[in-house]
Structure 1
Amino acid sequence: MSDRPHLNSGRLVIATHNAGKLKEISALLAPYGVDCISAGSLGLPEPAETGTTFVENALIKARAATQASQIVSLADDSGLSVAALDGRPGVYTADWAERQWFEGPAGRDWYMAMGKVEGMLAEKGPDTPRDAWFSCVLAIAWPDGREAVYEGRVDGSLTWPPRGTMGFGYDPVFVPKGRDVTFAELAPEEKHAMSHRADAFRKLVAEQFGA
């Protein structure tokens, strides 16, 4: 649409405190002259993600970052959905990795989260389908209140035990459709070419940079 706001090359706040996510997004935007800085490096607080969809949570984060920094901000909300678990963990993907007081020091334990998913599948029996997908929503917020949203997805299946060291989150147990290796076993450039985030970015780039 002609009245849609557009990014220019220059500074862009990535509304995350996750170094892995910042690195991945920076690599995807680098060819377009965008200088990505994280909300964490600016000392911006993390807003409560109270939405019930990826779109709602991405917009919450993008709006908070641009309001606090007065710089155009991009937020990503992504997660793993498992068909046999009725789409869970979904928007609660990161929450499943948060340790409770009895599970050790506060913080995220992704191996624990992967084990939680595997345990729930195991309870359903050995013939339970292992179909899963990653979703990604990218939301851009401008200081003047304009917004844009892009959605991406990649389908695959879950494996156990976890394999690979090059990804983060649930990457070590996710095998994308048509491959026999996990996201964490793929070189970053291979993952970037096929991931849910890459799918959303292709849509963003097509509209924002005409490429």
Structure 2
Amino acid sequence: MIIPKAEGSGAPALGEPLAVEFGNTYFAVRGTRGGIHDALVTPESLAAWLTEHADAFPAGVADAALAGLRPADVPRFAALRDAIRSLSRALVDGETPDDAAIAVVNEAAAAAPRVPRLAVRGDGGLVAYDVADPHPLAALSALAAAAIDMFGGEDRALLRSCGGPGCVLFYVKNHPRRGWCSAGCGNRARVARYHERHKG
């Protein structure tokens, strides 16, 4: 098992659908150093992200993935994340999605057949969950399935790109007045507009 770093993945957790949250593991950081960061560069950062979002996966899948995660798994997760971002960008911009990105999502979805399992919980009760061997592929497959549900369902029409200055995140517009991924980005956008109006 790869142990997540104490500081976590660093990726924002905005409460978006699982596929959008996963796509947002590529994000902008504000501050003295700023810039774009990738939360999927090490097994530890991937493990941290899986730990942070374990409740969004089918029961037991994230834990099973953590138990079998290897450094060689990181590029597969990163490729799926990049494909999700490509599809998100195409949908937001009203463009035709890239066939290669679609192929990556479909391949990841088929990477692990789901096998039902029964296990004893910590409190002695039983829990049913789907898992596959090798375990990390079950999480990869679940992420791809979440992307297929997102892009193939009605919520795809609500997918937006954040309008905050320098932000590269996506979100689902679940309120008519929502225009940013977070309140912080909304505040930065208002401040930037204010300064633009009052220049010179």
The answer to whether TM tops 0.5 is no
**More contact order relative to length (CA 8 Å, sep ≥ 6):** 2
In terms of Rg, which structure is larger? 2
| TM tier, smaller | under 0.3
More helix by share: 2
After TM superposition, the score normalised by the length of structure 2 is 0.25
More strand by share: 1
After TM superposition, the score normalised by the length of structure 1 is 0.24
